Amino acid sequence: MIVEPGPLLAAIDSPDDLKKLAPEQLVQLSTELRDFIIDSVSIYGGHFGASLGVVELTVALHYVFNTPHDQLIWDVGHQAYGHKILTGRRENFPTNRRYKGMSGFPKRSESPYDAFGVGHSSTSIGAALGMAVASDYKGEFDRQHIAVIGDGAMTAGMSFEAMNQAGVLNNNMIVVLNDNCMSIDPNVGALKEYLTDITTSRTYNKVRDELWNVLGKLSKFGPNPQQIARKVEAAMKATLMKQSNLFEALKFRYFGPVDGHDVQHLVTILNDLKSIPGPKLLHCVTVKGKGYALAEKDQTLWHAPGLFDKITGEIYKKVPTAPQPPKYQDVFGHTLVELAEANDKIMGVTPAMPSGSSLNIMMAAMPTRAFDVGIAEQHAVTFSAGLATQGLIPFCNIYSSFMQRGYDQVVHDVALQNLHVVFCLDRAGFAGADGPTHHGCYDLAFMRCIPNIVVSAPMNEQELRNLMYTATLPENAGPFSIRYPRGEGVMPEWRTPLQRVAIGTGRVVREGEAGGVAILSIGHIGNYAVKATDALAAEGFSVGHYDMRFCKPLDEEMLRDVAHRYRAIVTVEDGCLPGGFGSAVLEFLADHGFQLPVVRLGIPDRVVEHGTQDELYKECGFDAAGIAQAVRELGAKVTADSLATVLR
């Protein structure tokens, strides 16, 4: 189905076309842009509420600034659909987030208007500052640098690290704070409360009105940035000094709060800000999901709802014909509550992903024992370390790719002190449509090189439950990592009794013929190996399959048996090949003098783009067909090699 743009939007192929419109037309354009986003996301999917909330901001920013010469950086980038539509990519929306199609996030290789590649949050201010400093260094003093950042993303340390530097430099940059009081779930923390206080404070509203009166009068006398800036400063000092302002304290000039849905007012303000030198912050108040009533009402559900009927609001779900396996995240959420009911030391921690991780189940059941710490992965890890020093057992649940942010804390705060923190790394392996920023490729590799830590991955729901239980036992009171992928497992009946797993032991899934090929897998991807061995068995090819379960410590006894029994090994992991599980197996074999051939299947050493998980497994050769083919080829090779040896 083709989504038809309204007449004004249809005429816009780039921001140059937008600039031909009269300011009064921007309201109509915003309506058309919003309709186009609603139509497109309902049919093709993607992130929803965030883009609806910044429609007017997007129009105003591209109307006022000379993009891409002026650099516009979207934080996270899940709100940039309007930006993509106005910058020549309207017709690409049928391919949004699809295999080989348009990325769901701004991406430098996709468009010159995408000034910075994003997906992870809280990078925009630092990137904009770097660009601003570079512009000044190169003598490009006419360039503007604009970071658009949400109130959720603002809570991260990175944002404050960047503002801390920007505040004492005089580079030309504007931070647009898009404050909708929401992260994916409701935003949390003292900063959120502070922003709400400013928004509702009478003093600030008075300041805002006075300020813009001053600016309005000044602009009649023509553009004289220094003069305007000095007068604005004086006006602000007179009023703002009466009440401290966090951003002012960081030496940003603070403007707002303003209505982020008043497009014409935004145009006026942004035009004024253009001529004020130095770091500035414009605080815009917006509504996530604006213009689609259901999305305004349940903002978490409509953050990324999947396909839906835009008239009825029905979100399409597959109707199951038989009991379905649960999502791993839900097995985590329910099992954690079950464990915590039996053990009062257990706590839960998530950096801003209560719904995505299903920690919200524990937050509802045990509000004093489960914490959303905001978008703050580093802090989530160190906070967990602090809890652990006091004898508690925190389950710190972080998406694998976001854990990249908390790596030093895992090493320095947890592992070096051998603290009992359980890391549950959700979305490990290919994330799917979110693409390379969100694929959890590296955790097996970056966890297994850390001393003291146990690195594990369950092949199914029962294994996840058992590993979680095992991780709480006193004999395992050190760092313990459990990784599992996005989506469903394989066991509709998953509420199995909790059983202890011996650390560093694998499971025999299928015995193969001696002298043949063995598959060693880790984690959920082992289920694809099961399909491969079934297919091979049907061809009369007997293959062994071992679910190794632990990447560290490896099951050395099992590896020795395998190395003696089989003539070749295929390793399979939904993680990067350099340094990952296959590498660990190779290290073991080399260290112990085994010389059998090994083929490693996993995520290659290149950027793998977005697509469904199955499309990406196939592309990288470790879907069931790819695994079976690797076994056939290796089997044929070792047979040919041994024949050649006999003949020699």
Ligand X SMILES: Cc1ncc(C[n+]2csc(CCOP(=O)(O)OP(=O)(O)O)c2C)c(N)n1
Q: Compute the distance between CA of residue 615 and CA of residue 623 in angstroms, rounded to an integer.
A: 9
What DSSP string runs through 333-360? HHHHHHHHHH-TTEEEEESS-HHHHTTH
Q: Is 475 assigned to a binding site?
A: no
Q: Is 460 assigned to a binding site?
A: no
- The reply on whether position 549 binds ligand DXP by CB under 6 A is no
- The reply on whether position 427 binds ligand DXP by CB under 6 A is yes
Q: Is 412 assigned to a binding site?
A: no
With CB under 5 to 8 Å by kind, the binding choice for 266 among ligand X, ligand DXP, Mg ion, none is: none
* Neighbouring residues of 286: CB distance < 8 A, sequence distance ≥ 6: 53, 54, 57, 178, 179, 180, 260, 261
- The reply on whether position 289 binds Mg ion by CB under 5 A is no
Q: Compute the distance between CA of residue 531 and CA of residue 623 in angstroms, rounded to an integer.
A: 9
Q: Compute the distance between CA of residue 484 and CA of residue 490 in angstroms, rounded to an integer.
A: 12
Other Cβ atoms less than 10 A from the Cβ of 156: the count is 27
Cβ 76 to ligand DXP shortest distance, Å: 5
Comparing CA positions, the residue from 134, 372, 176, 364 lying closest to residue 283 is 176
- The reply on whether position 274 binds ligand DXP by CB under 6 A is no
Computed from CA positions of residues 571, 572, 578, 581, in that sequence, does the dihedral angle turn out positive or negative?
negative
- Give the three-state DSSP class for 223: coil
Is 488 among the residues known to form the active site?
no
- The reply on whether position 434 binds ligand DXP by CB under 6 A is yes
* Neighbouring residues of 228: CB distance < 8 A, sequence distance ≥ 6: 215, 218, 219, 272, 275, 276
Computed from CA positions of residues 103, 186, 442, 629, in that sequence, does the dihedral angle turn out positive or negative?
negative
- How many residues does this entry show for the chain? 648
With CB under 5 to 8 Å by kind, the binding choice for 486 among Mg ion, ligand X, ligand DXP, none is: ligand DXP
Q: Is 119 assigned to a binding site?
A: yes
Q: Is 121 assigned to a binding site?
A: yes
- The reply on whether position 400 binds ligand X by CB under 6 A is no
Q: Which residue is nearest to Mg ion (CB)?
A: 150
- Give the three-state DSSP class for 410: helix
* Inter-residue contact 520 to 555 (CB < 8 Å): no
Q: Compute the distance between CA of residue 438 and CA of residue 428 in angstroms, rounded to an integer.
A: 9
- Give the three-state DSSP class for 362: helix
180, 378, 384, 409: residue in contact with Mg ion (rule CB under 5 A): 180
Choose the stretch contacting ligand X; rule: CB under 6 A; options: 178-186, 470-478, 529-537, 584-592.
178-186
Choose the stretch contacting Mg ion; rule: CB under 5 A; options: 120-128, 148-156, 191-199, 562-570.
148-156
- The reply on whether position 352 binds ligand X by CB under 6 A is yes
- The reply on whether position 151 binds Mg ion by CB under 5 A is yes
Is 338 among the residues known to form the active site?
no
With CB under 5 to 8 Å by kind, the binding choice for 402 among Mg ion, ligand X, ligand DXP, none is: ligand X
Question: Which is the catalytic residue, given 89, 143, 288, 369?
Answer: 288
Cβ 94 to ligand DXP shortest distance, Å: 20
102, 182, 281, 398: residue in contact with Mg ion (rule CB under 5 A): 182
- The reply on whether position 79 binds Mg ion by CB under 5 A is no
327, 369, 405, 486: residue in contact with ligand X (rule CB under 6 A): 405
Cβ 432 to ligand DXP shortest distance, Å: 8
159, 171, 180, 462: residue in contact with ligand X (rule CB under 6 A): 180
- The reply on whether position 151 binds ligand DXP by CB under 6 A is no
* Inter-residue contact 100 to 611 (CB < 8 Å): yes
C-beta of 135 vs 300, nearer to ligand DXP: 300
CA angle in degrees (0–180, nearest 5) for 425-323-435: 35
Is 377 among the residues known to form the active site?
yes
Q: Compute the distance between CA of residue 384 and CA of residue 74 in angstroms, rounded to an integer.
A: 30
Question: Which is the catalytic residue, given 377, 463, 573, 615?
Answer: 377
Q: Is 152 assigned to a binding site?
A: yes
Comparing CA positions, the residue from 221, 231, 226, 286 lying closest to residue 256 is 286
Cβ 329 to ligand DXP shortest distance, Å: 8
Q: Compute the distance between CA of residue 118 and CA of residue 80 in angstroms, rounded to an integer.
A: 10
* Inter-residue contact 76 to 150 (CB < 8 Å): yes
Structure token pair of residue 577? 């090949």
Cβ 459 to ligand DXP shortest distance, Å: 20
Cβ 356 to ligand X shortest distance, Å: 7
Q: Is 78 assigned to a binding site?
A: yes
- The reply on whether position 78 binds ligand DXP by CB under 6 A is yes
C-beta of 50 vs 235, nearer to ligand DXP: 50
Structure token pair of residue 115? 């000034």
C-beta of 96 vs 472, nearer to ligand DXP: 96
Cβ 356 to ligand DXP shortest distance, Å: 4
How far, rounded to the nearest angstrom, does the alpha carbon of residue 82 sit from its chain's CA centroid? 20
Residue 611 zone, left/alpha/beta (φ > 0; ψ -120 to 50; rest): left
Q: Which residues pair with 173 in a beta bridge?
A: 279
Q: Is 283 assigned to a binding site?
A: no
Question: Which is the catalytic residue, given 274, 280, 405, 465?
Answer: 405
Comparing CA positions, the residue from 19, 242, 287 lying closest to residue 150 is 287
- The reply on whether position 126 binds ligand X by CB under 6 A is no
Q: Which residues pair with 166 in a beta bridge?
A: none
Summarize the annotated binding site as residue ranges. Answer: 78, 119-121, 151-153, 180, 292, 377
Summarize the annotated binding site for Mg(2+) as residue ranges. Answer: 151, 180
**Which parts of this chain interact with Mg ion (CB under 5 A)?**
150-152, 180, 182
**Which parts of this chain interact with ligand X (CB under 6 A)?**
50, 53, 76, 78-79, 120-121, 150-153, 178, 180, 182-184, 288, 352, 375, 377, 402, 405
**Which parts of this chain interact with ligand DXP (CB under 6 A)?**
76, 78, 184, 304, 356, 427, 434, 486
Q: Which residues are catalytic?
A: 288, 377, 405
